[in-house]
Amino acid sequence: MTDAVIIGAGPAGLMAAETIADAGFSVVVADAKPTFGRKFLMAGKSGLNLTMDEPFEKFIAAYGADADWLRPMITAFDPNTVIAFANALGGDVFTGSSGRVFPKTMKASPMLRAWLARLSDKGVAFRTNWKWDGWDDKNLHFDTPNGKQCITPRASVFAMGGASWARLGSTGHWAEIFANSGIETTSFKPANMGFVVEWSKHMEPHFGQPIKPVRLNTGDQSVPGEIVISRTGLEGGGIYAVSRTMRNGANLTLDLCPDVSIEILTKRLQKQPAKASRSSILRKAFSLSPAKSALFNEFAKNAPRDQFAMLAKDLPIDHNGPRPMDEAISTAGGVAKSALSDELMLHEKQGVFCAGEMLDWEAPTGGYLITACLATGRVAGMGAVKFLSRA
């Protein structure tokens, strides 16, 4: 009998596998895709932001309403531990000017290859194209290239991701199976996603253009950042940072001149000739780029001149809600916290643990997602070790 089966081969699943293997137990990692870590590799295409180099309290606060629940897990596997972990895999890291930590290669593939090799050396077995499709008691059922397969491990860890980027493996199909088994789950919602804007034709030349610097204000958040005008709306790191608040109904305004006070803008406006055109004022008085000017005109096209300074500092953005969930970088929702012990074992299924994005928490981009996946994977792995040791 296999000691432990890990379902899902992203960062959370692989961390659980290594934790259990290090304790001397046999481990099988099964994934529905033909290769492992597909979403991890996709993250690497933009540089693989592993974690953040910043004071711990600031780091943990980024998890918002989930911070208190995640705190003990991330305390035990904090950003410094993530850095040491990456270095041990040969992914020597550096910290950018924003505090974001990246491997020097700026890629995920070298780290993933080294990690899989290390796990193999520890006796971990791998199964690809194995799609979990249910359970009875402790029997795990899989669709595989060789037909239906059943494994009965002594413990199992589910790390199957959320419900975004289905083509990479995070389909969320497990949620219905869990709910039908009496396990409490919460509905999926998009996180770290863009928002739909129905642009007028004059915006077309600016699609793909970054807007920076700006400050985004929504609800009780005020975040400096960069946004991108896309064909379908607004995206980018700044939008992702406030996406939870926006998704929950808060209005968004943009400060297009974050480094200039409204008093200075007002004085500059007053110095402009009475017959100065709108475009001249935006360019000369406010120093707005063509893309920023286009954004201003899109959302303040009927504003009188005497409101220009105020609107440049507080431009209301009308949108039609989030982009579809499958386009989101991550998702909120999943296995409810109340369904889990402190060791991330399901109350309804002894010896079954959950980790990573399939748990009901969310975080902004910037390394927070990967750090929490690693941390929860470690906790689930430690819980499985404890369970196996007394079973």
Average pLDDT, integer, range 311-337: 96
Which pLDDT score, from 0 to 100, does residue 137 have? 83
109-123 confidence digits (pLDDT tens): 999 999 999 999 999
Residue 310 pLDDT greater than 90, yes or no: yes
Q: What residue segments make up the domains of the chain, in order of their start?
A: 4-190+329-390, 195-317
Torsion-angle region of residue 235: left (phi > 0), alpha (psi -120 to 50) or beta? beta
Which pLDDT score, from 0 to 100, does residue 316 have? 98
Determine contact, residues 339/172, Cβ cutoff 8 Å.
no
CA–CA separation, 33 and 12 (whole Å): 16
Identify the band that residue 90 occupies on the pLDDT scale cut at 50, 70 and 90.
confident
Could you tell me the CATH superfamily of domain 4-190+329-390? Answer: FAD/NAD(P)-binding domain (3.50.50.60)
**Residue 365 Cα distances to 32, 63, 372, angstroms:** 25, 10, 11
124-147 confidence digits (pLDDT tens): 999 999 999 999 988 999 999 999
Beta strands 4-7 and 155-158: pairing type? parallel
- The overall pTM is greater than 0.95: no
If we measure between CA atoms, which residue out of 336, 329, 6 comes closest to residue 160?
6
Residue 46 pLDDT greater than 80, yes or no: no
Identify the band that residue 201 occupies on the pLDDT scale cut at 50, 70 and 90.
very high
Which pLDDT score, from 0 to 100, does residue 220 have? 92
Q: What average pLDDT is seen over the chain?
A: 95
Query: What is the spatial order of strands in the sheet that 4-7 belongs to?
Result: 125-127, 27-30, 4-7, 155-158, 352-354
344-379 confidence digits (pLDDT tens): 999 999 999 999 999 999 999 989 999 999 999 999
- For 274, list phi and psi in degrees, rounded to 5: -60, -30
Which pLDDT score, from 0 to 100, does residue 307 have? 97
